[in-house]
Amino acid sequence: MDTHKKTKEQGFTLIELLVSIGIFFIITALVFVNQQRFGGTILLTNLAYDVALTIRQAQVYGISTKVSAGNSFSHGYGIHFAGNDSFILFVDLDNSDSYITPSGPPSDDGTKCFAGTECLNFYKVSKGNTISRFCGRNDCSGAGVSDLASLDIIFYRPFPEPNPIRGFKQNGASQDYNDASIILTSPQGLTKTVTVLKSGQISIR
């Protein structure tokens, strides 16, 4: 009698192999999507802090002894928003309570500041993030796009409060606000809002 037992070698069947590969690809896709979302959150948060800190810098310049052109301490400092891919730190040399003076020469070309003008620093928004909206805070409470073409937030000595927060509508009319909001959006649809209150408080949410 043959006492040897026959052994049967077993391996993956084609179906088992396909199921294993499918599970691997699903896990890889989930990790990739979550990584993209996490990276987008970090980049958007960094942008929000860049905007908030630049507004704070204008506030510090406005209430301190920062000397502007002509050794003057009387000019205000502010932030200018117009469009969705940049913002500008400026000094209000003509005391017009705004960055753009229709009768004056331009201070930037949309990519950089011109020397000797009101434009101090030009900040480009990158990595697919955008400034999706900027508005007086009441106008940001609803859905849709703000009707503001630009927004200026200016600080004058010796007050930490913004004075004024001035929006310019598409038709050229201007309006002053107590508060302002700047809404930032990532390529993944995430949002951060930088809010400037009439008290001078700057917050991110």
| Residue span of the structural domain in which 58 resides | 35-204
106-143 residue pLDDT tens: 899 989 999 888 999 999 998 899 999 998 875 666 55
**Structural domain tally of the chain?**
1
Instruction: Give the Cα separation of 31 and 132 in Å (integer).
Output: 28
Q: Is the model's pLDDT at 51 over the cut of 70?
A: yes
- H or E stretch at 127: none
What's the mean pLDDT in 138-163? Answer: 79
What's the mean pLDDT in 78-91? Answer: 95
Handedness of CA 78, 147, 123, 108 (dihedral sign): negative
- Radius of gyration in angstroms for the set of CA atoms belonging to the chain, rounded to a whole number: 27
What's the mean pLDDT in 70-86? Answer: 85
Residue 9 lies in a domain: no
3-state secondary structure of 25: helix
State if pTM tops 0.85.
no
Residue 6 lies in a domain: no
Residue 171 lies in a domain: yes
Strand order in the sheet with 191-196: 130-136, 180-185, 191-196, 202-204
What's the mean pLDDT in 161-170? Answer: 92
Mean residue pLDDT across the chain: 84
